Chain A
């Protein structure tokens, strides 16, 4: 029980998530913020599989899963139907997907739903790989991250590409609320979900959810890993509200990224040069966001 959050649970225990799962925390606490009058849509993935093993279900709100890449499209249908039936105002619509579902395969459906302005809170639980299929590389896997399809080989050392900047791409659709969050700060995440739900039109939350099974760290350390990712600036925490980017936890004296990398099996192959590369990559991206923050209204012309 986290201080200040309602006791009422809309996601019951007894689900089949791994010990130390970060994603399940994000799902459970989004529901606390959203409450009883919620409809949840979910992409195929770990969360769908662990929460609905027929005939059991963890969901105490109406829930629907269709496929891997169509959660925003299903949500579009729900939004339109509720409008057509005169029930739209009463219901919160939460649309969950992992990084595979949002960064990659469902990216088009997300973009379409945002462009059309379907009111819903789209929540991407990001554990930086396809975990449900056994830890494969996604568009969210960070540079040098080792997965089963970007292994730390003798010649190629993990993923060779950058992580797709999804929250910024989402913000460029001109939607009024985009936020990043981490399960290391559930109160902050909870508030952001509430804010997202109160937004006019679509809103998007990118929540950083470490995965002990895929990142190779002790399952007791999920919150610590999530916190370190924030403290070393690996996972920036900000909001883009009405076009203005603002850090909600600004890290003034960041810890070295190496400290974060060393704690995870997926980065254990990194040498000095590669660690320096990741440090530079993290610094550059963080500085870019700081510049956007200075501009005050980075995205407002697109609203």
Chain B
């Protein structure tokens, strides 16, 4: 139990369980199969986006271009299928390559110029978004193959959508990366202290580029998943990602200065934000007050989690004093 209490995700897990029970007591529709299906869809999409930002936070940087990469890949993916009649798998492959290239550009320029990733990704945000608008002229692509639509909207069984498969695989892989591989540990070490990590032989260039490449790839996957869900490739995809991409990792206990992220807690952060958003709809909150409620609910969840950490720290301190 003591080990569990130390985990970042534990407090969030409790908030999620009690919160869900509370909501379903007042609104039984919350646990209806259709609502669970909608919730899983929403979580699936944002999970990938949050992971894309989380890995950059791990190295103490920020990626403002996550949404722009996702949007560029989304319209490229759909454009290739509609305009060039390309089949799905080559289009997916090219989408991934675009994401990888965008991530590489972010990482390479950041490393080689020594300029903050915040500035670099702010610039590339405009470049990627500009390319998106240049290609589409703000017009959506509509001709999506039936298989793509099916993947975005069909269910495996019960309320579980197919769309959840890829985000779950990504979350597992990210957990392995951050907790069981030297690359993941090097990233955290780099994020914690750049000078110290370099002194023990960790290559800054590799770490930063790898992190941005993974981030770009995940943003690309996020963009294509949104296309599957929406059944159209619109240039607006990704426009609303920036704040949620930071919110979930931070709610999950990530330190923006780097060196500390928790994959499971980030996933719980995504679920929490989605549940709160849904609850505001289910409880028919006045639209002019929705954002106030959302803000307060997120603050409450973070305070509960922080209180748990504080209690744990105090207990540890008492034991060590004794």
Physical interaction between A and B: no
Give the interface of B toward A (CB within 8 A): none
Give the interface of A toward B (CB within 8 A): none
